[in-house]
Structure 1
């Protein structure tokens, strides 16, 4: 378990450490306008790689494939250290993502091999605690390293990638020495065309989700990405249908009602969770004038809620063997929290959003934990790896879609809401005079206000412009932001109500008493016994036929 936790720590750390260091990195490499591609490259390759690792681990075994994923991740981290341009960094981040795609998915799959479903939630709770610790440490460590001029003669920001090496090497050493899994090799071929078509389908869609607002959703680039992506997905489904059991994601799994419902639940959780949660820091920074660091600290209650819910739900599943009530309760709690957040304004006491963020965490922790166990328990033991990786892959895709959707709603309504707030504020002569003063409109410090007022879809990467904005414009701006965020949280609440309905439809299958590895061993033993019995019956039949034919032999 320590080796798996180290791998999980790497995965979570990599998703957060860049958030506070990317601006410094982009400045150093002279590519501020290209900084988003360094994030997109990792997102694209890690998302696509997840189901590939799941299938490969089912064929060749978890241990060698997991060690390979860590090794590729570390090679990618090392090459990122030596990047000399943002283009190089984006390419090396893509290599890093090829390894990172297996870190979390395979950790959960290996746990399923070792631990029976009834006890699995307890161990996944430990993983969640590690994930939370890395998520909390990531922004702080990233900011501290990026802020240092040089460490041991190397630029501070390059240590953002070098810090992965000792953790990853430790994880590899522990796994290589301690992890001992019996592998039951499956006669299957590598689904090359499945990997090709899913890449063709997902790369343009993920790029679209990440850059659609910048391009404009109706722009030629956005339309081409959408068409190519959809054609790729259609081709992927056709290829997977033909591949049968050799498919990268076997479509027969979706004929299992419990697995299908669990996947749909995970997708809606991904849309609502990632989408709505992405709005909370914007509320804190743009409506409450919090710094990025302060907004990160305010998210701690959510992390605490996730950890509490994960530990408690794991204990309940282990003790009672029941899991359906958990995603039902989790979706209801999250929906209530998001609906309540839609009434939060710029003057709401801070303890209220803090309490609601805690509700988010409790609800999300109950949903994700139980849905993963339900999906793993519903499929045959031999499909545990691909089933787990597919669930995480689809949830991550849904999260990318959710973030794009919610931010598009925010910025799509921001101009109108700012204008409405300005109209209400013009009852104050000072505000009316400032709005119509050419000097105020042309001042660089007020450019963000007038850019969004006239329908702009982009915002500065931090909230520092609020500190220099004309004071009379600041309150209408914050009120407009709060109104747009309210709509986003209402959509989040509606998404979680859909999740609640799906969770109610989730069929509760009794949890297996055996781990996936033990179940596969039992299946192999029963198969061998059945073949031996069939052989004995055939031999007895042949002997009887020979006797009847007069042959004493």
Structure 2
């Protein structure tokens, strides 16, 4: 009878299997050891075998037994959290003011592209930052990203039409795609894995605080000074962040390959096909049933282009790219697939609801932009509490898979409750029914990310982080596009029908679809009919969010990740042995 293999034998077998798998990526990043491959991530505490002349004197390896938070780490954390605050501000301020912007440009039916144009470019460029930061350094990529974001935001404040505003938002997205990803990667360079949950909770807090601030003040700023000042407000904060990032973010030294060779193998083909594939898909969804019929040649053409380009993207990632944007090996295994599917569908549901709630309050309740934004404050505060609690639980006790499942279930309950909103809903229901979605989302987001990271060794964390954010961003993009498509198609069908017996009913329907502010100017009887139409349409959007959460809940049931805690001897061994992706590394 064969004896069971020991833990040592299992580890040796895992290392042997790992070294048997060779790829072009391995040739570019020789895997002599995790230390050499991940460079700054796991530089030995004594700096042996490395040129440490470019490292600051106060740098301490996250694997060192003498690790402690330094002043530099605190300042870098300040920079990171400042950027995440701006990301949260930007997301909520746009949702709170897009109805005003669309009404000013007489294009309320196309206003979703204010968010969509940003999300397309941020989604496509987001994973590139992980690769580029491995090649040219975190500091260089950070400064590039935040400067692009700065000038894109400046362009938004100067836009003269919806088209130019969308172009500026797309430019902003190129920078924004890197800020959140780099924030996680930069802190990962300097913080032990077992403590990252706490540091991630600080990032989530700043995102939530930015969302609250943007939702509560953006509408008031737009009402008082105009929507352009919503973008102008952000610029001074960017300048402070640029200065701090330039002074304190580490640009690590690299070994094992030349920068020129690496740049020649960057996955430009994958990035281009992803950008244009997503753009085609979103154009199809946004135009179909809104500007054009679903059978129109333009809509069909965009749909076919999306299928071809996204198929080419998958082919390039699997067969062509030497340094793929989204390595297909990252997608193998039950745990990564479960985490990514949960991330995708919850991102779709949450962003769809975030995008539609301000529209609901302004079209059904006839609130101003300021009031509509203020209604999101309390739910966002609950989300902050959830993110902080989740960070502490992950770092101390783990329970990653349980947190994913609980968070998704709570979020599903919130989506169902929100789908019951109507014109006569009392204020207390608005407040309490929106809480579960934000609370559940705050729990599952970090749990899903770290479940993904816990499956891989440190060498793969930058790529895994970029992939996780990429999948979530695709969900965010589709959340905006799908919800807007459902809403516009529903309104185009419902309003002409309910206004059939109203004089000039077709003209009124066309007017209120393009301008939400026009609803207030209608006679009482006509206004009530329009409000009823908007209620029915938006309820369908909220029900679609609930369906997306249901799929995410099923996906989360396949997650088996447990904890962030790693054995101390395993961490020391990682610095001198080949990497593995096995779960034996983790307690």
Relative to the length of structure 2, the TM-score reads 0.74
CA contact (8 A) 1:256 1:379 kept: no
| 1:155-194 alignment runs, 5 A limit | 160-180=230-250, 182=252, 187=257, 188=262, 189-194=265-270
Q: 1:168 to 1:76 in 2, by over 3 A?
A: same
* Residue among 72, 79, 99 paired with 2:175: 99
Deviation, 1:496, is 1.4
SS of residue matched to 2:184: helix
Q: 1:71 to 1:318 in 2, by over 3 A?
A: same
SS of residue matched to 1:355: helix
Tell me the residue number matched to 1:548: none
Q: 1:197 to 1:466 in 2, by over 3 A?
A: closer
Over residues 435-462 of structure 1, what are the superposed CA-to-partner deviations in whole Å (9 max), with x where a residue is unaligned? Answer: 64xxx5128xx943x459xxxxx72343
Tell me the residue number matched to 1:4: 80
1:267 aligned to 2:344? yes
The whole-number CA distance in structure 1 between the counterparts of 2:452 and 2:114 is: 33
Q: 1:221 to 1:512 in 2, by over 3 A?
A: farther
Deviation, 1:473, is 3.0
SS of residue matched to 1:321: coil
| 1:65-144 alignment runs, 5 A limit | 65-79=141-155, 88-138=164-214, 142=218
CA contact (8 A) 2:119 2:473 kept: no
* Residue among 282, 289, 295 paired with 1:206: 282
SS of residue matched to 1:346: coil
Tell me the residue number matched to 2:518: 465
CA contact (8 A) 2:318 2:328 kept: yes
CA contact (8 A) 1:258 1:374 kept: yes
CA contact (8 A) 1:198 1:236 kept: yes
Deviation, 1:505, is 0.8
- Greater Cα shift, 473-482 or 236-245: 473-482
Deviation, 1:253, is 0.7
Unaligned runs of 5+ in 1: 150-155, 423-433, 453-457, 529-553
- Greater Cα shift, 309-318 or 501-510: 501-510
Deviation, 1:87, is 5.1
Deviation, 1:198, is 1.9
1:481 aligned to 2:534? yes
Tell me the residue number matched to 1:253: 330
Q: 1:364 to 1:65 in 2, by over 3 A?
A: same
The whole-number CA distance in structure 1 between the counterparts of 2:237 and 2:109 is: 31
SS of residue matched to 1:246: coil
CA contact (8 A) 2:216 2:374 kept: no
CA contact (8 A) 1:58 1:186 kept: no
Q: 1:522 to 1:362 in 2, by over 3 A?
A: same
| 1:106-505 alignment runs, 5 A limit | 106-138=182-214, 142=218, 160-180=230-250, 182=252, 187=257, 188=262, 189-212=265-288, 213-243=290-320, 246-414=323-491, 436=501, 440-442=502-504, 447-448=507-508, 450-451=509-510, 459-462=513-516, 464-505=517-558
Q: 1:7 to 1:211 in 2, by over 3 A?
A: farther
Deviation, 1:254, is 0.7
The whole-number CA distance in structure 1 between the counterparts of 2:220 and 2:492 is: 36
Deviation, 1:31, is 9.2
CA contact (8 A) 1:210 1:400 kept: no
The whole-number CA distance in structure 2 between the counterparts of 1:470 and 1:494 is: 36
CA contact (8 A) 1:256 1:378 kept: no
1:513 aligned to 2:566? yes
RMSD: 3.5
Unaligned runs of 5+ in 2: 1-76, 580-587
The whole-number CA distance in structure 2 between the counterparts of 1:23 and 1:337 is: 24
Deviation, 1:48, is 1.3
The whole-number CA distance in structure 2 between the counterparts of 1:226 and 1:157 is: 34
The whole-number CA distance in structure 2 between the counterparts of 1:344 and 1:138 is: 23
The whole-number CA distance in structure 2 between the counterparts of 1:157 and 1:487 is: 29
Q: 1:236 to 1:333 in 2, by over 3 A?
A: same
SS of residue matched to 1:324: helix
Tell me the residue number matched to 1:59: 135
Q: 1:342 to 1:111 in 2, by over 3 A?
A: same
The whole-number CA distance in structure 1 between the counterparts of 2:425 and 2:110 is: 37
SS of residue matched to 2:439: helix
Deviation, 1:126, is 1.6
- Tell which structure's C-alpha radius of gyration is larger: 1
Tell me the residue number matched to 1:543: none
Over residues 59-96 of structure 1, what are the superposed CA-to-partner deviations in whole Å (9 max), with x where a residue is unaligned? Answer: 33322211221122223344555666665554444333
CA contact (8 A) 2:116 2:481 kept: no
Tell me the residue number matched to 2:47: none
The whole-number CA distance in structure 2 between the counterparts of 1:296 and 1:147 is: 12
The whole-number CA distance in structure 2 between the counterparts of 1:134 and 1:351 is: 24
1:49 aligned to 2:125? yes
SS of residue matched to 1:14: helix
What is the aligned residue count? Answer: 495
- Greater Cα shift, 404-413 or 270-279: 404-413
